[in-house]
Structure 1
Amino acid sequence: MAPQTSPMVSAALATMQPKQEQQPAVPALSSALKTGILGKMVAASAAEVAPRKIELYSSEYYWTCALGGVASCGLTHMGVTPLDVVKCNIQTDPAKYKGISTGFRVLVSEQGAAGLFKGWVPTLLGYSAQGACKFGLYEYFKKTYADMAGEEMAKKYQSAIFLAGSASAEFFADIALCPFEAVKVKVQTVPGFAKGLSDGLPKFVAQEGWGGLFKGIKPLWGRQIPYTMMKFGAFENTVQAIYKYAMPKPKSECTKGEQLGVSFAAGYIAGVFCAIVSHPADNLVSKLNAQKGATVGDIVKEMGWYALFTRGLGLRIIMIGTLTGLQWGIYDAFKVAMGLPTTGSVEEKKK
């Protein structure tokens, strides 16, 4: 009779038996891991969710540039509202506001610190609309005119392309800006007229009609079109000069931070020239919007040619230089954030 094995011994012997190799719970997954199919599937999925690159000169590209213009112009103009308030009052009432420091002192003493920020809403909205048209349409017209001229002629006369593209863009940008500018100047320079856009716009229309919002369009074109032509033309050429003569390496080898530094520097230099060429028209716009029924001839006769070119110029150079430098810095930073190159084409240095 064969000896019986106790249950405990049987259990111990069972644990010592070699186990059969376990099959994977998901054979297809194991196969995919071995063949690399899963890796390819993951890579394909990642490609689908990766940010889509914006195609240069597509409609999406121009809309992106327009959004960059909104951030660039709207925020910067709103930020320098105190300087703008003082400048406009110097232009419209020089007997009372005799200079920069005096202007600030008089405004704060009479209206408090809040008086320095009068008109910030029409400033923000107006220059946001203008910035969208200015930058978005500039990119469009620059490309369009270059294509019309052909590669060789566009390269030979690139400055003319810059000037024509910027002038065309600013023509439409000023139409968007003009109503807001009219209300802004009135709020900033006529004591007690209104607190801002919400009460200033209906009051302005009640006094001068809807057409009154555009009575300053011609002087505005006279101020802004030369300003913008200088802003873009000087900027593009200054960028090229900086990379050619000041930077020790080609643009393609510069970091994004270095490229944005070039954008700010070129923008500030361009801004100084912008302020000078557009200042007479800026004086006209301020006076026309502040004085009901006044004409360009009336303003020139009242101010004289010297004052027309110089009154408030120092403050405007500081304001516009800083403003333009910041605008180009913000605009190109926005483009970089969206995966686009900074503005300004340059020839790479030969090694």
Structure 2
Amino acid sequence: MAYSSPMFQQLNGLSSNESKLARAFPLKAANESPQGFNLYGRFAFAGAVCCAITHGALTPVDVVKTRIQLEPEVYNKGMITAFRQVVAKEGSGALLTGFGPTAAGYFLQGAFKFGFYEANKAALIDYLGVETATKNRGAVYLAAAGVAEFFADIALCPLEATRIRLVSEPSFANGLAGGFARIAKEEGLRGFYSGFGPILFKQIPYTMSKFYFFEVALEALVKTTGKKKEELAPSTMTALNLGGGVLAGFAAAFVSQPADTLLSKINKTKALPGETTTSRLIKIANQIGIRGLFGGMTARFVMIGTLTAGQFAIYGDIKRVLGATQSVELAKV
């Protein structure tokens, strides 16, 4: 990707003439910091690690949330009781069911999501111009996140389908490799992507909300310090990233909850002959109603609020360690 404006010429490894745009978004010299694909590769790696760690660590919560969604008649006494029910019935090891596909799937998804978000945001600002982009920065955040998540979901969907099958049917296979191989053999590509529509319906609004609310919340939190972002201590920035992540996580969890429930339901069973994904979604939604669509909301608030806060804190710290601190931030203007 080649940028034409002076603001981004250094990202292409080119020299930059001094200008108002360059001063608005100062970048270090090319020999002092990563640029171009090297820079965005670091963003992608930081995103992959933060997503794999947070989603993997919260596998037990995800297992319980999925059970509540799939069997509300059994797990109907709250999250804590559901934890106890799962352990009593299947042992504590059941809480780690699907850990392999969860960590692997979200490693890939995180790389695409965070890497493309940063690249898309920069490209949009380059296309619109700084002034227009700044005035419409909410739209820039939403568009950059939505496009990034679409490509991220292509990578995530097969592993997410495997995870849900393992959680909903503990006897289905022995871990990631076995589950993946069985779905490939018995159902083919359709089996992996039967939930692609629902996962887009879930993940795109979730990611758009997540990045939008995080950017807005972080901008407000930084203002309360009375300092510019680059003047804040690393520990302060970690704390602000955590706070902004919690707020963004709660908003994103609520927005995407109905689609998350439908995704769990549609991946539990195979499609009937002649049944389309759309018809299955409509049938499931009619069967469970509004209350059913929001089943497991408490567990998801805990899960999404925690992992979103953790993601942005870890992401920011890894970027700093890797020297990848040149992402364009409209709030600075």
TM-score (norm 2): 0.85
1-structure distance, mates of 2:325, 2:216: 17
CA distances 1:202-224 after superposition (whole Å, capped 9, x unpaired)? 22223322221001011000000
1:209 to 172, 181, 188: 188
Please name the residue that 1:83 is paired with: 61
1:301 to 257, 278, 286: 286
1-structure distance, mates of 2:157, 2:32: 35
2:305 to 321, 325, 341: 321
Runs of 4+ in 1 over 4 A off after TM superposition: 342-345
Structure 1 unpaired stretches of 5+: 1-50
Asked whether the equivalents of residues 119 and 195 of structure 1 are also in contact (C-alpha less than 8 Å), the reply is no
2:208 to 220, 223, 229: 229
2:145 to 153, 163, 166: 166
Structure 1 residue 55: deviation in Å? 3.6
2:29 is the alignment partner of 1:63? no
2:233 is the alignment partner of 1:255? yes
CA distances 1:264-312 after superposition (whole Å, capped 9, x unpaired)? 111111000010000000000000001221710121121112321x211
Q: Specify which structure has the bigger relative contact order, considering alpha-carbon pairs within 8 angstroms and separated by 6 or more residues.
A: 2
Structure 1 residue 342: deviation in Å? 8.1
1-structure distance, mates of 2:233, 2:131: 30
Alignment of 1:1-351 (within 5 A): 53-56=32-35, 58-98=36-76, 99-244=78-223, 246-293=224-271, 295-308=280-293, 310-341=294-325, 344-347=329-332
2-structure distance, mates of 1:298, 1:216: 14
Asked whether the equivalents of residues 260 and 342 of structure 1 are also in contact (C-alpha less than 8 Å), the reply is no
1-structure distance, mates of 2:177, 2:194: 20
Structure 1 residue 150: deviation in Å? 1.1
Asked whether the equivalents of residues 240 and 345 of structure 1 are also in contact (C-alpha less than 8 Å), the reply is no
Choose 153-162 or 299-308, whichever is displaced more. Answer: 299-308
Asked whether the equivalents of residues 87 and 312 of structure 1 are also in contact (C-alpha less than 8 Å), the reply is yes
Structure 1 residue 52: deviation in Å? 5.5
Asked whether the equivalents of residues 134 and 331 of structure 2 are also in contact (C-alpha less than 8 Å), the reply is no
1-structure distance, mates of 2:172, 2:123: 44
Structure 1 residue 259: deviation in Å? 1.3
1-structure distance, mates of 2:178, 2:264: 20
2-structure distance, mates of 1:280, 1:268: 20
Structure 1 residue 345: deviation in Å? 4.7
Asked whether the equivalents of residues 162 and 229 of structure 1 are also in contact (C-alpha less than 8 Å), the reply is yes
Which amino acid in the other structure matches residue 325 of structure 2? P
What SS does structure 2 have at the residue aligned with 1:97? Answer: coil
* Structure number, greater radius of gyration: 1
- Flag the 1:318–1:194 CA change in 2: closer, same or farther, 3 A: same
Which amino acid in the other structure matches residue 53 of structure 1? E
Which amino acid in the other structure matches residue 291 of structure 2? Y
Asked whether the equivalents of residues 332 and 342 of structure 1 are also in contact (C-alpha less than 8 Å), the reply is no
Structure 1 residue 200: deviation in Å? 0.8
Structure 1 residue 115: deviation in Å? 0.4
What SS does structure 1 have at the residue aligned with 2:267? Answer: helix
- Flag the 1:345–1:152 CA change in 2: closer, same or farther, 3 A: closer
CA RMSD of aligned residues (A): 1.6
What SS does structure 2 have at the residue aligned with 1:142? Answer: helix
CA distances 1:111-150 after superposition (whole Å, capped 9, x unpaired)? 1111000110000100000000000000111111111111
Asked whether the equivalents of residues 34 and 323 of structure 2 are also in contact (C-alpha less than 8 Å), the reply is no
The total of aligned residue pairs comes to 295
Asked whether the equivalents of residues 178 and 216 of structure 1 are also in contact (C-alpha less than 8 Å), the reply is yes
Which amino acid in the other structure matches residue 307 of structure 1? G
Q: What percentage of residue pairs aligned between the two structures are identical?
A: 39
Which amino acid in the other structure matches residue 288 of structure 2? M
Choose 102-111 or 314-323, whichever is displaced more. Answer: 102-111
What SS does structure 1 have at the residue aligned with 2:174? Answer: coil
2-structure distance, mates of 1:105, 1:52: 56
Which amino acid in the other structure matches residue 210 of structure 2? K
2-structure distance, mates of 1:251, 1:285: 39
1-structure distance, mates of 2:96, 2:31: 41
Structure 2 unpaired stretches of 5+: 1-29, 273-279
Asked whether the equivalents of residues 243 and 346 of structure 1 are also in contact (C-alpha less than 8 Å), the reply is no
